[in-house]
Amino acid sequence: MILSPGIYHCLSVWQPYAWALFNGKPIENRRWPIRYRGRLLIHASKFTREVEDIRRLIQTDMHVQVPPISQLAFGAILGVVEIYDCKWSSVPSACGWGVPNAYHWHLRNQTLLDSPIPYRGAQGIFTVRIGDAPLDDQQTALL
């Protein structure tokens, strides 16, 4: 997939969780709810301190083979997901990806870009301009 010029909402996620969102992980766990529904870019953060521990955790708990760290993208937009629901849960999700005592952002239609786009991330939801799309106040409003 190649992104068309436009304004997008984006979320930075630590690796290898960012990778997992495009490889079977249907829930993103957050401490805060999101009202927004629709397309959301996923950015892989530059954070690398706990990557190997998280990689082992995913492989052990979820039985998913995660690529070696050297094959994961960092500091780049990886793809697009669709947020279609958000619910608080005090228990783990049935699929295993949702942790207890967190908001579960339910995702679908995960699509990887043809190539990651190097980009500086930010905390929370942030706005990304692709190409020469004009900014307007409505598109940059907080979610």
Global pTM exceeds 0.95: no
Strands (E), 19-101: 27-30, 38-44, 76-89
Contact of 103 with 33, CB cutoff 8 Å:
yes
pLDDT tens readout for residues 63-99 = 999 999 999 999 999 999 999 999 999 998 999 999 9
- Angstrom distance (rounded) from CA 44 to CA 116: 9
Q: Cα angle at 17 between 2 and 25, to 5 degrees? A: 80
User: Residue 143 has what pLDDT?
Assistant: 41
In this predicted model, what pLDDT tens digit does every residue of 1-23 receive, in sequence order?
889 999 999 999 999 999 999 99
DSSP character at residue 55: H
